[in-house]
Every structure is written in structure tokens, then in C-alpha cells.
Structure 1
Amino acid sequence: MAAEEWGVIDSRYDWSVGAWNELFRLHPGWPGRIIANINLELPAHAHGKKHKIRSVYEYRRFLQQQLRALPEPMAKLYPKGIGVVCPIETWSDDFSLAIAGVPSMVNEFGEGSFMETHYHSQYDNDGAYDEQVYLFHHLLYSRLLLAFDQTALPPLNFADRLVAFGESIQSQRLSPTFEGALRKTLATCIDRAERLAAYTEERNELYATLLHKDAGLAAALAQDEAGRRADLLAAFRFCEDTFTRLDWGEQAMFGHVACEQNLASLHRAAWQLAAGDGAAALRSLCEIDDNRYAAAFDEAVVEYFADHAQNQPADRLLWGAGRLTGRLPLRALIEAIRTQAALPEPDFSQEVSELHTLQKKEQQHLEQLLREENQGLAELARMLKKMLPKGASIKPKREKKKKANGKKNKPKRTEE
């Protein structure tokens, strides 16, 4: 599926082109019909002492349930066990499938040293082959495949994405009214997502039982749930379209997160300049969008590559189309700080003032992004309500350690 030889020139998003083409051009009818994609990357090599499945948020709990049921020899093959991490990242084909509407997962392969020292080099040879690990991958992912095959409904739980969304809102400058309205919509979404997940789990348990007792009744149940099955996959695609965005390093995140990070860097740079530390301020500014390149290359070079990410038709931006939330070019400010820092007695007052102005603009940008995301939450809440069975009282199976609202936590990737 990778089809790396397809490629595309003069586009920032020039890898995983084969997977994107397969879903968006060759087989656009697959999304809405396929409930899971399992991608295997380097399955004969242990990339650490803990095996991780990198998955879309919505399958985290289902995967954890399956991992808890593993035979002890499998569960203990890795010294630190087996876990699930979210969300999907852009460095493998499963990202293109996920944004197309196919819930995806991959054996995590990017965190170990192998990627830095061996991958795509002359050292990437049969010496890295581990037969026991290879067998483990076959057994584990075959079990997962069979588990998915015994479901009448895709076991999607939207609550984890929503909880992660709430935890990622870090800004201390949002008005109580603004943030309160947002979190109220979020809480409604989470409640409906949990109740829908409980219903889905009950129906899948019944379906799995019927498969072994009465195949006709199992088929009838699956047929009865065909509409809800399609609606669940449509809601998943909606979440990917609405909430999955990229920063300038191709990291997948919620749209507002990159803006919040920019605000934090602007604030830090301002007080660093006020303290007279121009070098530290420059490091902070280089964390914003693509400004690390502005600090190192000519303007023509920087703009040339920025155009590869922005000024392209969607069919050339592929899986990156529409996912950047903005760009804050700071070349002039960086050069001004460098000029002042070279003086015997630098005066950064003008640059500090400019940073304060930029903070105000970026705050407005953040609030606009959150308003758009709030609209997305409201639409998702309507979609979830439509999928809940009429007249049924369903109690959500909440995870104790997850909170819908409360104290703001540092943004983090879900891992367990």
C-alpha cells in the first residue's frame, strides 16, 4: 500500500502518497465499509522493552480490552508489557487511511533507536530479524483481526478523543463565559459518546454469543444495526475532518494546540527579552511554526518551502490539505533581535512591544479556532444523539481516571 514510488514533487506532504491515492482516488468507496485497518511496520524487530499499538483514539479502549485477555506468554514477551498509544501519526500509511474514514492502527515503530541508526541504511539487514517477535506480531494482530470480525458494530468510543481535546485546552486567557460554553458542549458530547459506546459494547457481546449459537440470528442483528454501523463510521470521518490538524512539523494534533504553543513561545520570548536575554528569546521564537528555518536560511528558501505546504491545490497537498491552522512568519523580528543583541547595550523595548501585539493577534486566532471546534462539537453531539437508541436507558461505562472537565492538565498523548 505504501507505493513509495508514486511520490509527488514540490509538495510538503510527499510521502504516504500510495495510501492516500488508494483511499481518496482509487477506492473512495472503501471508507464507510471498512471498520479497521491494521498496518504492520517492521514486525520482526522489537523496538523497545514495551510493545505499543498506535491507534486512533476511538479504538483505544477496545484494544485495551483485547490486550487484557491475552495469554500470559504473549503478554509477558515484552519486559514492560503491551500498551496502546494515541493518536495516529503521519509517518506511516495508517494516517491516510484514518483521515479517509477508516479507523486505523499500527505497531509503534518510531520510538526506538532502530529508526535512527538502522532504518533505510546499509545496516537495515537480516541481522535485525527476531523470529520470536515476528511470531508475536502474527499472533497478536491475528487475534485483533478476529476480535474485530466478531462485532456487529465498529467498537468506536468517541469519548477518549473528546477527553483529550478537553485536556489540551491550556490557555489561561479565555473568558469564563467563552470557556464555559465550550466545556458545556464538550461535556454533552462525552456523555453521549459514553452511552453510545456502552450500547455498542452490549450489542457486540450479544452478536458474538449468537455467532456461536445461531448464525441466522447473528446475521439478523447485524442487519438491524447496518444503519448505525454506517453512522458510526461517518461520525469517525467527521471527527478526523474536524479535529485532526497538523503543525509545521507534521505532528497530528487538535487545531488549537499549535496556536496555544505559539502563544506560550511568544510570552516566553517577551519576558526573555525583558530580561535582556536575546539568545534565549530567539530560541523561543524558532519554536513557532517554520521560523527555525527563517533563522537559518534566506527568505527565498523559506518561502519556497512554505509554498509547498500552503499554496498548492488540495490534490497536491494530499493528506496535509486543509490541516495547517496558520503561519506566523517572524523573520523581521528575528533579524531585529539579532541586530540589537549585537550592540554593546541592547534595547529590546520595541521588540517586546511587537511581541505583545503578536500575542493579541494570536489570542484572537486561538479563540476563532476554538469557536470553529465548538461548532464541530455541537454537530458531533447531534450525530451521537441520533445514534442513541430511542427510549433506552443506557448507563455509560466511565473510566475512573478520565475526567470530562476539571483542572487543566498538560497536553499529552494518550498512552496506557
Structure 2
Amino acid sequence: MEKEKTNSVLGYRTAGSDAETATGEMLYKEMEQIGLKDVTKDRFTLDGWEFKKAVLKFTDEAGQTHEFQMGGYQTNFETDEFQDYELVYLGKGTAADYEGVNVKGRLVMVEINQRDEWWISFPVYQAYLRGAAALIAVQANGYGEIAETALNAQDIAGPDFAPAFSLSQADARVLKDALREKEFVTVSLDACSRVMPDVKASNIVGKIPGTETDSMILLSAHYDSYFDGFQDDNAAIAMMLGIARALVKGGYQPAHTIVFCAMAAEEWGVIDSKYDWSTGAYNQIFRVHPEWQGKVIADLNFELPAHAHNTRDAIRCTYEYADFIREFTESLTVPKEAYPDGITVLYPIETWSDDFSMAIAGIPSTVNDFSAGPFMQNYYHSQYDNQDVYQEPVYRFHHECYLKLIMELDRLVLPPMNFGNTMHAVAASVRDTASDCASGDQKELLTQLEAAEELGSQIYDWICRINGEYQSLTERSAKKAFREKWQPQGQKLLHIFRKTQDYLVRLNWQDEVMFPQEAAAWNIRQLEKARISLEKNDITDALKALYRVDNNMYAFLFDEEVYYHFTEYILHQPKDRLMWGAGRIMHHENLYGIVQKLKERMNEKEPELDEEIRRLEAALRRQRAYYRDDIRYLKQSVSRIYVMLEEIKGC
């Protein structure tokens, strides 16, 4: 898969690029060669990106010329061969770093930590607003820690007209040494990074037809990549097709149709959107094949599967599938050379990969967990994600594990959903976030949740019983008739699952999955801490608390326009640009003004803070109103879910 690339030196197989298209053609032919049926190229529209080159030259005072290969981001920047620029170094690239520095038309080099501090989009847009020609980001920590020569790439989550590149620590050190006694150095840049609005890409799909039902089991992995992308996600595509080949070669005749989908544009595919990744998967299930919703009983998504991310493996899934997956994992023998501490089950689904898009469409999804562990800090999205990080025992185990899981799923008549788990998690969340401002409604909600949890658990027992009856049948005709009898109930269960996703799944400003009331509850606690601190004239502790409210950390660090842009593009952008994040953030508390005012008053000996306290009290009133609304909304939602569960129980 590394054959096709947009950058002849570094790789990259990016959304809508010729390299991605050619790789899709190869996968199409591979699926046909394997013997999959109904192989298709499912086309959709997205924003594309081709990154051909970014080479920086610098001649030091000793006359030595250095040539640096740089990584790219999804932004526009093209030169006519090498072009000279002045380059300055500005620390972390926050607003304060620009004080007294003219960067107009210059390259601005900064150091960032995207895991522990802020995303690349913020310093990039800050540089653009100050007139910089482009920003060059050096990973101080967080990603690319494996070597000082590591480059990094991520989704830009910002506008295409604010250019950015990636430079290694080793190469940056050469420039920083030259800048010790200078305001700037002169460099030459030859670059071609081109964003292409509204182009076409294709998800590649093949099937093994089912013999008993038109319901489906879906396997997915993505075929776009940064650099070589050996683990992310070449190995996953290879594993998915290896499983397909094993099933076809073994003559397996599934009850369900098994669908294999190589997704395009997982890494990025939408200009200037907070939710610019998982583009191919979102389009596949919401725009290309919306009829799959209600038919797919599970999506097994694969990411970085040939490397152990911890000493214990994990399958991450939805709350509803946790019991089924846990029972499945207990039947596995996990090789010690792959995972010394065995395997566990994690939930809920996170936003890191395509399984989130699938889940919110009403498709219960799983992924081999990869989001924690040293691989992410060291190799992820760098040129060091190559075949050197291949671990065969891990890869072999994942082949066997997920092949067995497919066959377990194929033995089911009803999707194995325990909605009791979901209701239990919501109840635990409500207890953790309880507020005096909604005590009566909270009590009623917890009573509802207790009843819904019990009912959900009863229905799961019933589901297991029905599935057990099916598995005791031996005649194919009897199995098919039994499945047809219960198929309407299976569709109803998937419908309820979709509604729980609609009603209960929200995001915070850091893309973490949460329940509807959690964001307001968190903000209330932070605002109360800030108010108490101000009453004690402790501005420092007040600011620490305000830093943790919504996205207000950026109010401390960047110009108001930066803060405004990356707030408004979530709250007031068309849903089709927000994709899987649309409507998942409900509220926002804008604290930019009070943060600036408190920062100004830090040096006053005895500040009068009555006005600031009143402003925080107003913010608290808003957040408490949001919280009360969220609790009432949850009461209505849980009531609706309970009614749907009762209808299932009555079948």
C-alpha cells in the first residue's frame, strides 16, 4: 500500500488525492481477486488534499547548507521552486510571544505539544492573523517522541488559508542555534501543499452474501495515511482482507451478509471543521448507504492492529455490547508473547476513529483499543510508523480474535444489547454531577433510570434466551424461519440503540464523550471555585478554575479572533460541515472578557472585584439553567427509551 504516495520522500496518501484513488483501485481489484461479491467503489464528495513537498534550505555562518524535509498540514501553500523567507522563532506561538515582533511575510517557527496543551490549529491561525507567511511547528512533546528527527502530521481542524508545516526537533535546533543572537535568519522554501474543495473519493466495499438474512456484519479500516502509515492503517486493511480471504477460502457461508469496507479519508476530509476526520465513514453510513442503518448488527473497526499498545489488549465497544464482548473475551486464549496480561473490555466508544461515526448512526461498533500507550506519543502520525514497529504475535492474535468474533456475531438472531448498562452509566453520571439547583428533577430521573436499568437487563436476558434457542437448531430451514420470526424485534432493538445515541451521546470541547448534563455540571463546579477565590481576592486560583471551563483555556493564550473563530465554527456552522460532531455540544460560556480583565488586575495590591464576581454569578445562573434543562431533557429521553423497551418486552 505504500507504493502510491503524494510526497515522493515522506509518503502521504491523503483524502481525494491521486495516491488515495490509485490505492482504492488496487483494493478494489484485491477484493475481486479474493472472491468477494458485489465489489463497489462507493463515491462521495469531500475536501481533498495533495501534499507534494516542503523542503527548507538554510546556510549557516560556517557556509554549510542544510536541507530539511518538512511534513505538511491540510493548508494551501505553493512556491515557484525555492523562495527566500525570513524565519523567526516565537516560543509556543501564543499571542504573548508576538509582542514587539513583526512577522509579516515571515515564517514563524514554534514548539507545540498537542496532547497536553493545544491543537496545531490555534498557533497556526494566530500566526496567520499576525501576517506570517506560514507557521512551522516543532513537536516539543506529546507526539513524535521516539526520535529528535521525527516529524508529525495531524488533522489541521482549521482554515486552509492559514499555512502550516512540521519540522523535526533536530532540524529546528540548527535554526534555533543560528537565531541565538539574531532576530531572524534567511531560509529558502520549496513547497507544494494544495487543498482541493469538493472532490471525489471512494470507499471500497466487498461482501460475502448471507444465507439467512439481509442483516449485515461490517468490518472497516481506512486506507488513507500520513507518511507510510504502516500501523495506521495499512496493517488494518491487510488484516481485514486477510480475514475476508480466510472466510472465502474456508468456504464459510454466513447467515448474515459480511461486509468489508476500506474507508477513504479517515484522517481528514473537511476544510475548517473541528470534526474534520472520519469523513469517509460518516459519508458511507449517512449519505452513501443510509439504508444500512437498522441492518448492520455490528461494526468491527480496525486501527493500528499489529502493535501492542499495552501489556493487556482491549476491545472497546458501546455500553450495550459490553456484556456480550466480555463473555466472548473470556473464551479466548491470549498468547503471553502478545499480551502478558490478557484482554479486557472498555467502553464507551471514543471519537478517535471511524467506529464513533458508525455508533451514532445506530450501528453498535467496536475497535481494537489503541488510544492509550506509548505508541501514540512515540510513533503515531510520524515517519517512524513503519514496518519496524510490526509485532507478529499481536497481529496473528488479532486475526484470530476478530475472525472468531465475526463467527460469534453470525450465530445471533437478536443484537446482544444490554441497555441496562447504559442506564446504569447515566445514573452514575447524574449522581456524580448532582446539583442543588435541580434536586427534585434529579431524584425523579434517578428513579426512572433505576427502572430502565432493570428493564434493560431483563430484555438482555430475553435476548440471550432467543439467541440460545436459535443456536440449538440444526436444520437450515428451521434456522431461517426462526430468524425471520424475530427479525422485526432485532430491527426494533437497533432503532432503540440509535435513539440512545441521539438522546444521550454528547461531546465536550476536548472531544470527549459524555452525557448531556455533564458539561454544565463541570462548568458549575469550576465557576463556583472561581467565585469563591475572587471573594478571597485570589485572582490566581480564580483564573485556574476559569481555564477549565469549556474552551476558555484559549482565552488565556490567543487573540480574541482566534478564540472566536474556533468557538463559532462549532456553534454556528452548517451540519454537513460538522458531520459526526453536529449538535453534540449544546452550550458555551464565553469568558474571554473576564479572563482578560482579571489578568490585567493581577498586579493590583487590593483589587475591588465586585464587578467580576457579579459577572461570574451571571455565568453561574446560565450554567445552572442549562443543567436544569439538561436534567429535564434526560427525564424525557429516559421516559421515551423506557416506553420503547416495554414494547420490546411485550413482544
Cα distance in 1 for residues equivalent to 2:539 and 2:439: 35
Displacement of 1:80: 2.4
What is the match of residue 394 of structure 1? none
Residue 337 (1) aligns with residue 598 (2) = yes
The 1:185–1:347 alpha-carbon spacing in structure 2 relative to 1, beyond 3 Å, is same
Displacement of 1:106: 0.3
Displacement of 1:176: 4.1
Cα distance in 2 for residues equivalent to 1:295 and 1:104: 38
Q: Within 5 Å, which residues of 2 pair with 1:132-171?
A: 132-169=393-430, 170-171=433-434
Residue 179 (1) aligns with residue 442 (2) = yes
Residue 304 (1) aligns with residue 578 (2) = no
Instruction: Give per-residue Cα distances to partners, 1:91-117, cap 9 Å, x unaligned.
Output: 100000111111101011010111111
Q: Within 5 Å, which residues of 2 pair with 1:199-278?
A: 199-210=462-473, 213-278=474-539
Displacement of 1:317: 0.9
* C-alpha RMSD of matched pairs (Å): 1.6
What is the match of residue 576 of structure 2? 315
Instruction: Give per-residue Cα distances to partners, 1:53-88, cap 9 Å, x unaligned.
Output: 1111110000000111113x4488422221111111
Specify the code of the residue in structure 2 equivalent to 1:60.
Answer: A
Cα distance in 1 for residues equivalent to 2:405 and 2:335: 13
Cα distance in 2 for residues equivalent to 1:8 and 1:106: 23
For residue 105 of structure 1, give the secondary structure of its aligned residue in structure 2. strand
1:33 to 281, 292, 295: 295
What is the match of residue 380 of structure 2? 119
Cα distance in 2 for residues equivalent to 1:81 and 1:355: 49
Residue 13 (1) aligns with residue 270 (2) = no
Residue 192 (1) aligns with residue 455 (2) = yes
Displacement of 1:246: 0.8
Report % sequence identity.
37
What is the match of residue 352 of structure 1? 613
The 1:85–1:61 alpha-carbon spacing in structure 2 relative to 1, beyond 3 Å, is same
Q: How many residues align?
A: 387
1:43 to 305, 310, 335: 305
1:23 to 281, 285, 303: 285
Cα distance in 1 for residues equivalent to 2:637 and 2:332: 37
For residue 250 of structure 1, give the secondary structure of its aligned residue in structure 2. coil
What is the match of residue 327 of structure 2? 65
Displacement of 1:223: 0.8
Displacement of 1:277: 2.7
Displacement of 1:258: 0.9
Cα distance in 2 for residues equivalent to 1:172 and 1:101: 31
Are the counterparts in 1 of residues 507 and 514 from structure 2 also a CA contact under 8 Å? yes
Instruction: Give per-residue Cα distances to partners, 1:256-303, cap 9 Å, x unaligned.
Output: 111111111111112222333322221211111111111111111111
Residue 388 (1) aligns with residue 627 (2) = no
Specify the code of the residue in structure 2 equivalent to 1:268.
Answer: K
Cα distance in 2 for residues equivalent to 1:172 and 1:161: 21
Instruction: Give per-residue Cα distances to partners, 1:177-222, cap 9 Å, x unaligned.
Output: 3222111221221121111111000011111221xx2222221211
Are the counterparts in 2 of residues 57 and 86 from structure 1 also a CA contact under 8 Å? yes
Cα distance in 1 for residues equivalent to 2:401 and 2:531: 51
Cα distance in 2 for residues equivalent to 1:99 and 1:34: 13
Cα distance in 2 for residues equivalent to 1:32 and 1:380: 17
Are the counterparts in 1 of residues 267 and 277 from structure 2 also a CA contact under 8 Å? no
Structure whose residues are more often strand by fraction: 2
Are the counterparts in 2 of residues 246 and 252 from structure 1 also a CA contact under 8 Å? yes
Are the counterparts in 2 of residues 75 and 82 from structure 1 also a CA contact under 8 Å? no
TM-score, normalised relative to structure 1 = 0.90
Instruction: Give per-residue Cα distances to partners, 1:295-320, cap 9 Å, x unaligned.
Output: 11111111112122111111111001
Greater mean alpha carbon deviation, residues 218-227 or residues 336-345: 336-345
Are the counterparts in 1 of residues 293 and 361 from structure 2 also a CA contact under 8 Å? yes
Cα distance in 1 for residues equivalent to 2:362 and 2:627: 27
For residue 121 of structure 1, give the secondary structure of its aligned residue in structure 2. coil
Cα distance in 1 for residues equivalent to 2:360 and 2:531: 37
Gaps of 5+ in 1: 391-416
Specify the code of the residue in structure 1 equivalent to 2:301.
Answer: N
Are the counterparts in 2 of residues 96 and 319 from structure 1 also a CA contact under 8 Å? yes
Cα distance in 2 for residues equivalent to 1:351 and 1:159: 45
The 1:2–1:283 alpha-carbon spacing in structure 2 relative to 1, beyond 3 Å, is farther
Cα distance in 1 for residues equivalent to 2:460 and 2:398: 28
Displacement of 1:175: 4.5
Specify the code of the residue in structure 2 equivalent to 1:205.
Answer: G
Displacement of 1:346: 2.7
Are the counterparts in 2 of residues 247 and 325 from structure 1 also a CA contact under 8 Å? no
Displacement of 1:161: 1.2
Are the counterparts in 2 of residues 244 and 254 from structure 1 also a CA contact under 8 Å? yes
For residue 367 of structure 2, give the secondary structure of its aligned residue in structure 1. strand
The 1:6–1:269 alpha-carbon spacing in structure 2 relative to 1, beyond 3 Å, is closer
Are the counterparts in 2 of residues 99 and 241 from structure 1 also a CA contact under 8 Å? yes
What is the match of residue 53 of structure 1? 315
For residue 292 of structure 2, give the secondary structure of its aligned residue in structure 1. coil
Displacement of 1:333: 1.2
Cα distance in 2 for residues equivalent to 1:162 and 1:156: 12
The 1:176–1:260 alpha-carbon spacing in structure 2 relative to 1, beyond 3 Å, is closer
Cα distance in 2 for residues equivalent to 1:168 and 1:355: 25
For residue 258 of structure 1, give the secondary structure of its aligned residue in structure 2. helix
Greater mean alpha carbon deviation, residues 349-358 or residues 226-235: 349-358
Cα distance in 2 for residues equivalent to 1:62 and 1:197: 10
Residue 281 (1) aligns with residue 542 (2) = yes
Are the counterparts in 2 of residues 340 and 347 from structure 1 also a CA contact under 8 Å? no
Instruction: Give per-residue Cα distances to partners, 1:237-263, cap 9 Å, x unaligned.
Output: 001111101111111111111111111
Are the counterparts in 1 of residues 308 and 391 from structure 2 also a CA contact under 8 Å? yes
Structure whose residues are more often helix by fraction: 1
Are the counterparts in 1 of residues 456 and 645 from structure 2 also a CA contact under 8 Å? yes
1:106 to 355, 359, 367: 367
Are the counterparts in 2 of residues 2 and 93 from structure 1 also a CA contact under 8 Å? no
What is the match of residue 20 of structure 2? none
Which is bigger in relative contact order (C-alpha 8 A, separation at least 6)? 1
Residue 370 (1) aligns with residue 631 (2) = yes
Gaps of 5+ in 2: 1-262
Cα distance in 2 for residues equivalent to 1:301 and 1:172: 33
Cα distance in 2 for residues equivalent to 1:91 and 1:175: 33
Cα distance in 2 for residues equivalent to 1:274 and 1:376: 39
Are the counterparts in 2 of residues 23 and 31 from structure 1 also a CA contact under 8 Å? yes
Displacement of 1:344: 2.1
Cα distance in 1 for residues equivalent to 2:537 and 2:581: 39
Specify the code of the residue in structure 2 equivalent to 1:160.
Answer: N
For residue 269 of structure 1, give the secondary structure of its aligned residue in structure 2. helix
Cα distance in 2 for residues equivalent to 1:6 and 1:91: 12
